[in-house]
Amino acid sequence: MSAAYTCTDCGGEFELPDAVRAKYPNWTPKQCIDCRSRPGKDGAAPKQGRAVRGKGNSVTRTQNLSTDEVLMRFTAGPDTGIFTDGSCQGNPGPGGWGAVYVRDGKVVEERHGQEPGTTNNRMELTAMINGLEMAPANEPITVYSDSQLVVKTLTAWAKGWEARGWKRKEGEVKNLDLVQRAWELVQLRPLARLEWIRAHDGSRWNEYADALSTAHLRDRT
């Protein structure tokens, strides 16, 4: 038997064998094998989003590091910006999100939360919403997400969906409530730049956002 997941990049469904789930019970894969092997559908990173790499030792979610452990272990990657991440155990299942605003390596603000029954994409969008809410309205700022789906939604697709009455050519817009709120915030933050960052690649503050998104798992142990 296998479990079905939704790729955060292409939105497609993919499966993870039960043997792998048994070995890594707390891991929720974000990408299908095709998207894991390339930065974008056409081999390029999304608009506004060249791949930002940490060039450090990667960490997997199975380690479930705390934010303090992340700060001790990782030093690479951008040290200014807003970093967002979402997670979900199962898809749907219990999930969490995290966002941290950093300036010159110092935390300005951080937020995190959880929902008992949700999806990975909803948690990624919720993290982005909170990140955009933290962004200064009239200052340049880069908001990072390791979900290409979220970055593409807000930099390439949302404008067209809105013009068509919030309809996709292929059908309904999934998670419309969150997409609309995130799009509203993007327009209110004209100097904010959305950028994709590679997941679990050793980037200190992306790993930190990931740790925030999984805080609810540590709280219950």
Enumerate the active-site residues: 85-86, 124, 146, 200, 210
The listed CATH number (3.30.420.10, 3.40.190.10, 1.25.40.10, 3.40.1360.10) that belongs to domain 38-219: 3.30.420.10
In the chain, the percentage of residues whose pLDDT exceeds 70 is 76
Least confident of 15-24, 28-37, 48-57: 48-57
- Is the confidence at residue 4, as pLDDT, over 80? no
Q: How far apart are CA 14 and CA 171, in angstroms?
A: 21
Residue 127, Cα to own-chain centre: how many angstroms? Answer: 7
Least confident of 23-37, 72-86, 103-117, 156-170: 23-37
pTM of the model: 0.76
Domain assignments of the chain as residue spans, ordered by start: 38-219
Write out pLDDT tens, residues 184-200.
Answer: 999 999 999 999 999 98
Other beta carbons within 10 angstroms of residue 201's beta carbon come to 21
Residues in the chain: 221
Identify which has the larger pLDDT, 87 or 27: 87
Both tokens of 4, joined, read 């079905």
How high does pLDDT run on average in the chain?
84
Write out pLDDT tens, residues 33-47.
Answer: 656 654 433 333 333
Residue 94 preceded by cis peptide, ω within 30: no
